[in-house]
């Protein structure tokens, strides 16, 4: 019980101490990276999916950003080729 209480207090302290820089004129960077591989029973090879999508935004006012993300996505499905 002590560990749970200590963990909750620690997480609450981190959340309270976090301060986002969302003032007008600031820039925000982010994005996503993903990889997935799955093998279907009876297929010779695995299906593969990969993506990289960086994003950037600009705060035009306090707590209001406008931005975009441009990236690359690759999908290869071989399991559908083997079905008759």
The pairing of strands 47-61 and 27-38 is antiparallel
Query: CA 16, CA 72: separation in Å to the nearest integer?
Result: 36
**What tokens were used for 27?**
């820039």
Residue by residue, pLDDT tens for the chain (84 residues) are 777 777 887 777 666 656 667 889 999 999 999 999 998 887 778 889 999 999 999 999 998 999 999 999 999 988 765 555
* 53-66 CB burial, b ≥16 within 10 A, e <16: eeeebebeeeeeee
């Amino acid at each position: 019980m002590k560990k749970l209480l200590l963990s909750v207090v620690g997480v609450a302290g981190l959340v309270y101490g976090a301060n986002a820089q969302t003032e007008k004129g600031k820039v925000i960077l982010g994005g996503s990276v993903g990889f997935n591989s799955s093998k279907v029973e009876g297929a010779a090879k695995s299906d593969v999916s990969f993506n990289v999508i960086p994003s950037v935004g600009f705060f035009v006012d306090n707590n209001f950003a406008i931005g975009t993300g441009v990236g690359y996505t690759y999908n290869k499905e071989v399991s559908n080729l083997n079905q008759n």
